[in-house]
Structure 1
Amino acid sequence: MTTMIWVGLGAGLGAACRYGITVLGKLVSPTIPYATILINVIGSFLAGWLTGSQLPGTWALFLLTGVCGGFTTFSTFSVDTFVLVRNRRYLLAGWYWCGTVVLGVLAVVSGLWLSMHS
């Protein structure tokens, strides 16, 4: 039960951070989801770094499952892509979709590499 509490606290912290970045992102660009890309790339980097850091069990669950899980957002990425397509911004939707996936994977690899070389 204690483990679930730590994961929940981490998820709440991650979601609050995501919300703050999303609000700022909509002020900068209300029609292009830059904040979601930023959130998912940062979260992917942190997930890679935390995975490579081999933290003890409770810390890994709090930070990786909780914070990173609450911070990153596949559902928002999917909805953003759908909205761009619905608004007939096909090229932007394609760039957004491909760019998010490629940058996310590169961020995980970078985080893993950094954790193993520091």
Structure 2
Amino acid sequence: MEFVIKLIAVAIGGASGAVVRYLINISPVANLFAKFPFPTFLINITGSFLIGFLLVLLTDKIDVNDNLRMAIIVGFLGALTTFSTFEMEIFGLVREREFTTAFVYMSLSVVVGFVGVVGGATLARRF
């Protein structure tokens, strides 16, 4: 029964993360940059920071129910920061022969995303 509860927690978190991702992708900010996939970039960087921050905070600093931690980190943030969307957008840019934009997007996402994870984890350790 405990496994089923974890699955439900992850599913609820995942559905919520997917809805938030969709809302960000259809928001007015989505069209601010011509070719650069800014919404996914913003989601992945913010999500990377939050994953680093909450992983440390909810594992090492705050005693929180494991189902809630799973719902937030695996479900919500996992669905919000989908790597497959990132890869699909790079493929689209390459297919459109936007090689420079694809390279900049890919490089920035990986480097700044990692900085986000480290920054979030570092900040959480200070609490």
Q: TM-score, normalised by structure 1?
A: 0.94
Structure 2: distance between partners of 1:99 and 1:42:
13
List alignment gaps of at least 5 residues for structure 2. none
Q: Deviations over 1:42-67 (max 9, x none)?
A: 11111001111114411210110011
Name segments (4+ residues, structure 1) moved above 6 Å: none
How far has the Cα of 1:30 moved from its partner? 5.5
Q: Deviations over 1:68-96 (max 9, x none)?
A: 01111111100110111111111111000
Which has the greater radius of gyration?
2
**Matched letter for residue 12 of structure 1:** A
List alignment gaps of at least 5 residues for structure 1. none
Structure 2: distance between partners of 1:47 and 1:87:
32
1:67 pairs with 2:71:
no
Q: Give the secondary-structure state (helix, strand or coil) at the position aligned to 1:98.
A: helix
Size of the alignment, in residue pairs?
Answer: 118
1:89-104 → structure 2 map (5 Å cutoff): 89-104=98-113
1:11 pairs with 2:14:
yes
**Equivalent of 1:39 in 39, 43, 50:** 43
Please name the residue that 1:78 is paired with.
Answer: 87
Q: Give the secondary-structure state (helix, strand or coil) at the position aligned to 2:26.
A: helix
- Which stretch has the larger CA shift, 89-98 or 19-28? 19-28
1:87 pairs with 2:106:
no
**Equivalent of 2:114 in 105, 108, 112:** 105
**Matched letter for residue 6 of structure 1:** A
Kept in 1, the 8 Å contact 2:14–2:78? The answer is: yes
RMSD: 1.2
Q: TM-score, normalised by structure 2?
A: 0.87
